[in-house]
Homo-oligomer: A and B are copies of this chain.
């Protein structure tokens, strides 16, 4: 996606937000973190951009990213800095931040379309089943290596992954951290369709324009029908997961796991 300078450049540090004809395009382009990873500031900017799109005449939100990475999940560098301050307090704070972030997706009333152009990891992958349509570039890949980070699932993945791909595949991702290619993610139902890298942006835009030409009442009612049949179970899953995160991150083992993970990451370079 070409990054135009817009007035959004002044409102957002970690996003590029473009109000287009009929929709809002939110692109991750984080300056406060590397690889579009999510810290509380980035999450708050996404929530703010979504709140604006919810209130204006946008018929839908298109979520994508600038660069070759979609989103590498939580920003652990930022998080471990906080945790070393006050483990208990910061664990609770981070779990609450995630709870609110995830809830923004659960409650959003307009369709959220995602264009995944590169790796989607952790929270960057688990959030996808809370969106509506997911188109992936062939070069994208998907992984939720939670046990490597020493954490439990987030963004309702403990509920949505088994629903989408069955319990056997879901657990292989959630427990064993199996990495899926775009084609595998599509075969398993995490992705709607895989599009060719060379024409990815154009293909997405053709489809977006078609969606935007639809009756907005129909889009909203259709989304409500699909979402409302399990909104309550999503809310409950989000609660349970965030309580588990507090228990895990609040333990000394939890912090050790993140440190070990970061150490390994650093050693890889």
Contact = CB atoms under 8 A, between A and B. Distances in A.
Interface of A: 111, 128-129, 131-134, 146-147, 150-153, 158-160, 162-172, 174-176, 178, 187-193, 207, 210-211, 214-215, 217-219, 221-226, 228-229, 233, 236-237, 240-241, 244, 247-248, 251, 253-254, 257
A160 B150 contact: no
B219 A192 contact: no
Contact of A111 (B128, B175, B229, B254): B175
A168 B153 contact: no
A212 to B, nearest CB: 11
Contact of A211 (B150, B175, B214, B240): B175
Taken together, the copies of this chain in the complex come to: 3
A147 B217 contact: no
A262 to B, nearest CB: 15
Contacts of A187: 187
A210 B145 CA distance: 12
B221 A150 contact: no
A80 to B, nearest CB: 16
Contact of A132 (B175, B240, B247): B175
Given A218-B150, A218-B257, A226 B189 contact: no
A65 to B, nearest CB: 18
Contacts of A221: 152, 244, 247-248
16 contacts: A111-B175, A133-B176, A162-B163, A165-B189, A169-B189, A169-B192, A172-B193, A175-B214, A175-B222, A176-B210, A218-B248, A218-B257, A221-B248, A225-B241, A229-B236, A229-B237
